[in-house]
Structure 1
Amino acid sequence: MSQIEIKLERPRVELLFAKYQEVIGDDYLGYRNHVYRTITYAMHFLDNDEQYEQLVETAFVYHDIGLWTDRELAYLEPSEILALSDNAQHQWGLDPDALRGAIHWHHKISPYKGPHAKVIEACRKADWIDATKGAVRKGMSKEHIQQVEQAFPNLGFHDTLLRLAKDYGGSTLVGGVKVTLGIVKW
């Protein structure tokens, strides 16, 4: 079993978050750790190939951000728009189709098989691992998941998602249905 590389500091992630930290507010540390966990898993699936690192880091900073910036339960499109806009405005040079795809397909239930499949599929699997708190492992060992969760504690992130579903949807049930219809891809 290969070791999982855990980077405790990611300067690009912190730089990208700086613009949005205030709007995320009290939910910031929980979301930040979710982002670090998912980046770690995705990069492991990509054999820590540096050619994907900026894209993966950027995609995960933005992947759920529409929950806070647009206060939307169907947050994929608002998150994509922000990521693509910032990519163009700041001339990061990330492939817009790969960036959009990593965000758009991260809740897809079945494997992604389209353009940029390697990186999009790594991001999809990484988010499923973290969204389920490791119940769905996508080939990741329990030991690796425990190491990553220890490095980046949950800090109530999953509770935050339930709270936002209730706040934006009127109830946890209605919010949960709206989230499912708005973000889950088949």
Structure 2
Amino acid sequence: MNPLLEFPVTDEILTSYALAIGADLLGYRNHIYRVLNFYRAISGIEGLPSEAVQIAGAFHDLGIWTDQTIDYLEPSVRLATDYLANRQLSHLSGEVTALILEHHKVRSYAADHALSVEPFRRADIIDVSLGLLTFGLPRAYIKTVKSVLPNHGFHGMLLRQTARQFLRSPLKPLPMFRW
């Protein structure tokens, strides 16, 4: 499977938040694109993922920039549900909300929308772990995706944000993780 290099729904959303994301835009975009490609591979999808998955992909970490916090799940959901409401897509809000809220779940996800949430969760873990965790994806495919969609400082930004969170709240250093 060849990586896709265009996700129009995601790009449209990211364009509207380009000023908020600032210098991290390319790094975040490539993170989303890597996640969406890993999602496709895990799910066995040849074309674009569903609209809900693409929308959730764009919004899943966006609260980092819009609300300037590493505790970004709720702000990201708020942004996504506003987007859905403004486009008469509220019927997707349950799935998009689950995709965003559960993408850092430590254990497997088996509740509503599990057929999209669990592969999305795994895809994000593959990227955040820099491919150390593969969930059965061939390492060669992960390497290919990473080479055509380079990091551009995304993981460094996450480390800096996590370090700031730890200094502010050492008892809750990773508030985005769910059990």
Q: Contact (CA 8 Å) 2:166, 2:172: kept in 1 or not?
A: no
TM-score (norm 2): 0.92
Structure 2, unpaired ranges of 5+: none
Identity %: 33
Name 1:17's counterpart in structure 2. Answer: 14
d(CA) in 2 for partners of 1:11, 1:109: 30
5+ residue gaps, structure 1: none
Q: Tell me the matched-pair count.
A: 179
Give the match for residue 183 of structure 1: 176
What RMSD, in angstroms, separates the aligned Cα atoms of the two structures? 1.9
Q: Offset of 1:92 from its aligned partner?
A: 3.2
- d(CA) in 2 for partners of 1:144 and 1:133? 13
Match of 1:112 among 78, 94, 109: 109
Q: 1:86 to 1:35 in 2, by over 3 A?
A: same
Match of 2:124 among 123, 127, 139: 127
Tell me what 1:60 maps to.
57
Secondary structure of the 1:183 match is coil
Residues 143 and 177 from structure 1, CA distance in 2 versus in 1: closer, same or farther, beyond 3 angstroms?
farther
Contact 2:84–2:90 under 8 Å retained in 1: yes
Q: Distance in 2 between matches of 1:51 and 1:94?
A: 19
Query: Which letter does structure 1 place at the counterpart of 2:12?
Result: L
Deviations along 1:90-135, whole A, 9 cap, x unmatched? 2235521110000000011111000110100010000000000001
- The code of the aligned residue for 2:117 comes to I
Runs of 4+ off more than 4 Å = 49-52, 174-177
- 1:140 corresponds to which residue? 137
Measured in 1, the distance between the counterparts of 2:7 and 2:14 equals 11
The answer on 1:87 being equivalent to 2:80 is: no
